[in-house]
Amino acid sequence: MDSFLDFEKDISDLNGKIKELRHLVSSGDTNVAEELVRLEASAAQLLRQTYDKLTPWQKAQVARHPERPHFSDYARVLLSEFTPLAGDRTYAEDAAILGGLGRFEGRTVVAIGHEKGEGTEGRVDHNFGMAHPEGYRKAVRLFELADRFGIPVLTFIDTPGAYPGVEAEERGQAEAIARAIETCLGIDVPVISIIIGEGGSGGAIALGVADRILMLGYAIYSVISPEGCASILWRSSERSRDAAEMLRMTSQDMLELGIIDEAVEEPIGGAHRFPEETIELVGRSIGRHLLELEGEGRSSDRRVKRRQKFIDMGTSL
Amino acid sequence: MSWLSNFVRPRIQALVRKRETPENLWLTCDECSQMIFHRDLVANQHVCPHCDHHMRIGPHERFSALFDANSFQRIELPSVVVDPLKFKDEKRYVDRLKENRQQTGEDEAVSVAHGTIDEMPTVIACQNFAFMGGSMGLATGEAMLSAAQLAILQEASLISISATGGARMQEGILSLMQMPRTTIAVTQVREAGLPYISVLTDPTTGGVTASFAMLGDVTIAEPRALIGFAGPRVIENTIRQTLPSGFQRSEYLLDHGMVDMVVPRKELRETLIRLLGMLRRPHSTSSISTIDSTQEGSSS
Ligand SMILES: [Zn+2]
């Protein structure tokens, strides 16, 4: 944990001191051991206090934290034999959306997710998780593969949105997203989606039509970024904090609005501090929901129910 | 299906509302700045007679131009929860809604009517850019689902006419959920074996393009309409380059294989009649009578 968010400055200062003390203790200075215990306790308390009352805008910063675990991390830990499958068979391979076959708790699944990439180079390689049409068309190919073989689908959502570029438009960005939604509404296998970081607009919903929709505690899900919303409605990007409040984009909001089925609470301090613990919590939640869905057996009722879930959304608020 | 109990009641208020533009008025074309006599503009379906600019029009004009004369009725759409997020920017969302209702005389950004086109039963869902930029919220989702149900019930074709900037931000995540909801609507029509034709007009962008508008059995664009996913300004700010000329216009989409055809407004009705006729009446009456007469001839 090296990069700190601006509201974490006090925590960062404390951790700096703790580091120094640890260094002293390890080099034989026993006088500061008591002070170290005291500081560690107050650092933990400060972390709890800060994370207990994060504002929506602060949660957006946590959701976008570069050290948050990404799709590749979840695939590595939760899946065995993970075998990525590449390409849309029409134009290109798009590394902003990865997907493939793997085994989750023994059974075969198709796992698909936005990948934001790690490090400066990795982020550029994966285009910051902003897909071109090819990414969505690859996802469609994998949804259909899963359907043919009766394999459940897991999707991991983590994107600022679909890439806004000339070539993306020329090759049918809108049509590609529409087909991904249409395909997901038509398949007969269990689909579970989890928003693990940023659920940004059309690029997110393209992978977000599922029987069960889960969301990490500090993740966000929104029709537009708070910055984008502020610049349009307030004509000032400085009002992003207000936009983040108004848009209702947190996991608690999603529960209240009936959009998600479960908010998977992250350890205090967020997934970027505790990646292994977070991935394990996500795995447990997916496992539970998948067992429930599999218990319902294979039938075309599944897609009827999935459609009804979306038809009902927002009708009983 | 509770909404069906009152679907045929037309919105009297909207139908008889006073037209505000006086008959003998000169208007200026936004494109070529030439003066146009209002009556000529109406007669030309709001297409500039000088430069062929297709001006934005609303459901009233669309329904009258596309349905057979006196054949259509608007349906009353199910009500949706108003202002689910209690949204307020520089203005309260509820106040924006009120203003837009007063200015347009319409309830929402989509209107649905059923009637006939060349005697073929048809349901049209038409967006209205004048109403909050035609933005898609819960009401649009309900309208598309209702239009689809009505089309299936009446074995009618479904036509959507899009004119929108995309999602209605004031409804937050609920507006995003209208992408799957409207996709369900057009999927249901398709699964019932009925034609769904999407007509894209200026502008069609954002979540609407990325859902029902791009899923037509046939997709038609009006000349020079702006059609895309991301808005041109967003793209320009991202890539920091000037956009190619004609970018995201109907003709550009046609060149890139994204729409079936670009059809001038004055040819839209006859094009729809031809397409719907071929899809709905695959065996024309003339060829059936030819077969009949051959059989009669061989038996005698
Ligand atoms: Zn003109």
SS3 labels along B220-274: EECCCCEECCCCHHHHHHHHCCCCCCCCCEHHHHHHCCCCCEECCHHHHHHHHHH
Nearest CA in chain B to A257: B174
Interface check for B273 against chain A (CB to CB < 8 A): the answer is: no
Q: Which of A162, A172, A185 sits opposite B183 (nearest CB)?
A: A185
B176, A201 Cβ separation under 8 angstroms: yes
The pLDDT value recorded for residue B250 is: 98
Chain B residues inside the 8 Å CB shell of A234: 89-90
Residue contact B209–A229, C-beta within 8 A:
no
Nearest-CB residue to A165 (from B81, B85, B239): B239
Ranking A60-69, B41-50, B55-64, B281-290 by mean pLDDT, the lowest is B281-290
pLDDT at B1 over 50: no
**Phi first, then psi: what are they for A174, rounded to 5°?**
-65, -45
The alpha carbon torsion through A282, A284, A285, A288 (nearest 10 deg) reads 160
A interface mutation test: which of B179, B251, B254 has the most A CBs within 10 A? B179
Q: What is the pLDDT of residue B17?
A: 47
Residues of chain A short of pLDDT 70, as ranges, are: 1-3, 298-300
**Mutation for B interface: A201, A255, A308, most B CBs within 10 A:** A201
- The whole-angstrom distance between A68's CA and the closest CA on chain B is 23
* Chain A closest-CA separation from residue B9 CA (Å): 23
Q: How many CA atoms are closer than 13 Å to the CA of A165, on its beta-carbon side? A: 12
Q: Does B234 touch chain A (CB under 8 A)?
A: yes
Distance from CA of A78 to the nearest CA of B (A): 29
Does residue B293 have a pLDDT over 80? Answer: no
Which residues, by Cβ under 5 Å, contact ligand 1, an ion?
B 29, 31-32, 48, 50-51, 53
Q: Give the model's pLDDT for residue A300.
A: 66
Exposed, middle or buried, B188 (CB in 10 Å: 0-12/13-18/19+)?
A: buried
**Strand-strand pairing, A262-264 and B35-37:** unpaired
- CA of B175, closest CA in chain A: separation in Å? 7
Q: What is the three-class DSSP state of A111?
A: strand
A77, A70 contact by CB (below 8 A): no
Q: Assign B30 a pLDDT band (cuts: 50, 70, 90).
A: very high
Asked if B176 and A257 touch (Cβ cutoff 8 Å), the reply is no
DSSP sequence for B133-191: GG-BSHHHHHHHHHHHHHHHHTT-EEEEEEEE-SB-GGGHHHHHTHHHHHHHHHHHHHH
pLDDT in tens, B64-116: 999 999 999 999 999 999 999 999 998 999 999 999 999 999 999 999 999 99
Single-letter amino acid code for the residue at B240: R
Question: Using a CB-CB distance cutoff of 8 angstroms, which residues of chain B are in contact with residue A205?
Answer: 176-177, 179-180
All structural domains of chain B with their residue ranges:
23-55, 56-283
d(Cα A255, Cα B291) in Å, to the nearest integer? Answer: 63
Residue among A168, A172, A314 minimizing CB distance to B138: A314
CB contact under 8 A, B173 and A169: no
pTM: 0.93
Q: Which of A181, A233, A313 lies nearest to residue B169, judging by beta carbons?
A: A233
The pLDDT of residue A23:
86
Predicted complex ipTM: 0.95
How high is the pLDDT of residue A298? 66
What per-residue confidence (pLDDT) applies to B295?
47
Strands B26-28 and A220-222: unpaired
A3-13 per-position pLDDT tens digit: 678 888 888 88
Q: Does residue B285 carry a pLDDT above 90?
A: no
Check residue A2 and give its pLDDT.
Answer: 56
How many whole angstroms from B45 Cα to the centroid of ligand 1?
Answer: 13
Q: Which of B173, B179, B191, B249 to mutate to test the interface with A (most CBs of A within 10 A)?
A: B173
Half-sphere exposure of A114 toward its Cβ, with a 13 Å CA cutoff? 30
Please indicate if any CB of chain A lies within 8 Å of the CB of B49.
Answer: no
Query: Looking at residues B116-128, what average pLDDT do you find?
Result: 98
Q: Are B139 and B110 in contact (CB under 8 A)?
A: yes
Confidence of residue B19 (pLDDT cuts 50, 70, 90): low
pLDDT tops 50 at residue B11: no
pLDDT tops 80 at residue B280: yes
Mean pLDDT within B265-291: 83
The structural architecture, per CATH, of the domain B56-283 is Alpha-Beta Complex (3.90)
Asked whether the predicted pLDDT for residue B123 surpasses 80, the reply is yes
Provide, rounded to the nearest whole percent, the portion of chain B with pLDDT above 90: 81
Burial of residue B268, with CB atoms counted within 10 A of its CB: 0-12 exposed, 13-18 middle, 19 or more buried: buried
Q: Mean pLDDT for chain B?
A: 90
Contacts of A116 by beta carbon, 8 Å cutoff, 6+ apart: A66, A70, A123, A126, A128, A129, A158, A159, A197
The pLDDT assigned to A73 comes to: 98
